Amino acid sequence: MSQRVLLTSKEVNIILHRLACQLIEKHHDFSETVFIGIQPRGTFLANRLKKIVEQEYQIKNIALGYLDITFFRDDFRKSIKPLEASETKINFIVENKKVVFIDDVLYTGRSIRAALTAIQSFGRPSAIELLTLIDRRFSRDLPIQPDYRGRQVDAINNEKVKVCWQENDGEDMVLLINNN
């Protein structure tokens, strides 16, 4: 197994600020917009973006929730080991709001399809957008594309993209891991 660094901590930081600016351009004061971090790893990205927008651009009170999609996935019954669900935390109404799904890596699109189903339990958004730090091209099973992307990566099936977060892994970094 080999790995190489796709993005350093500095590059991740630059991308996060660019994504925050793109969100501000589109959503202005976020009064009609909510962030939904896809559990488990999209929550790190969602927290970081909320912090950047609130602290560096003085836009306050952005609604942030976490959505667990474990039992909405089309492959959840195929797992050999017992599944461990994360906590869904959405303490606001999504009815008629613009929802920005936030996840670290867009791969096959199946997680986002599951999120589209799961969010219906909380109301009918006026619109849904997708923000991902990494967009893995050439691996989509479903016709799902991000509205905001940090970096597009060409990775083949035996390669894995791993996003490391300071809060969870000790440093910000994106790795390409080859399992051969």
CB atoms within 10 A of CB 60: 10
Q: What is the pLDDT of residue 120?
A: 94
Tokens for 40? 């488990």
pLDDT in tens, the chain (180 residues): 899 999 999 999 999 999 999 999 999 999 999 999 999 999 999 999 999 999 999 999 999 999 999 888 766 555 666 667 788 999 999 999 999 999 999 999 999 999 999 999 999 999 999 999 999 988 888 999 999 999 999 888 788 999 999 999 999 999 999 887
Q: What is the pLDDT of residue 75?
A: 62
Q: What is the pLDDT of residue 26?
A: 97
9-27 helix and 42-57 helix, angle to the nearest 10 degrees: 70
Tokens for 7? 């993005």
Tokens for 136? 């893995």
Contact partners, residue 20, CB within 8 Å, separation at least 6: 49, 52, 53, 56, 57
pTM attached to this predicted model: 0.93
Is there a contact between 66 and 41 (Cβ–Cβ < 8 Å)? Answer: no
Triad 75, 131, 81: Cα angle to 5°: 25
Closest CA to 97 of 126, 123, 120, 119: 126
Please name the residue that has the structure tokens 């461990």: 84
Sequential DSSP letters for 70-120: GGGSTTGGG-SSPP-PPPPB--S--TTPEEEEEEEEESSSHHHHHHHHHGG
Q: What is the pLDDT of residue 86?
A: 83
Query: Measured between alpha carbons, how far is 42 from 88 in angstroms, rounded to an integer?
Result: 12
